[in-house]
Amino acid sequence: MNKIFKHKDFELTIFVEDTDFQGFVYHANYIKYFERARSNFLTLNGISQNDLKKLNLGFVIKRIELDFLYPAKLGENLIVETEVEKKSKARMIFYQRITSSDTQNSICKGIVEVCLIDIETKKPKPFPNDLLLIFNNGEVNE
């Protein structure tokens, strides 16, 4: 079994642009919040998506599963919690949860499977050594 690493929480506030006409967060925005937390994971661990792009590499979503638990509202402060598991040399799974820091309600949870691919061939490619070292050494930066 692979070890699951806890990553630093990502905080955000809900603005008008995030909501529908009722003042609730539009459902697709939860995917954006999860994406921001995953990008933050890479950045804080020294992985530049721009540098990967120069090498013709990119991360793609293989699978995403969401459970909407409670609506977030305009002005609410949210925390995106992220845990990550290496499944192979080219695939990670992110276990993510959004919680309201105002009410402690669980808002949304998701499982996101991410693969690294060669942008031209669309074939999986091994993670860069820097990312593999994070998993091998068991040190995820916060």
**What are the distances in angstroms from CA 98 to CA 43, 67, 69, 107?**
20, 10, 10, 5
Residue 29 dihedral angles phi and psi, to the nearest 5°: -70, -25
d(CA 25, CA 19): 4
Q: Catalytic positions, please?
A: 20
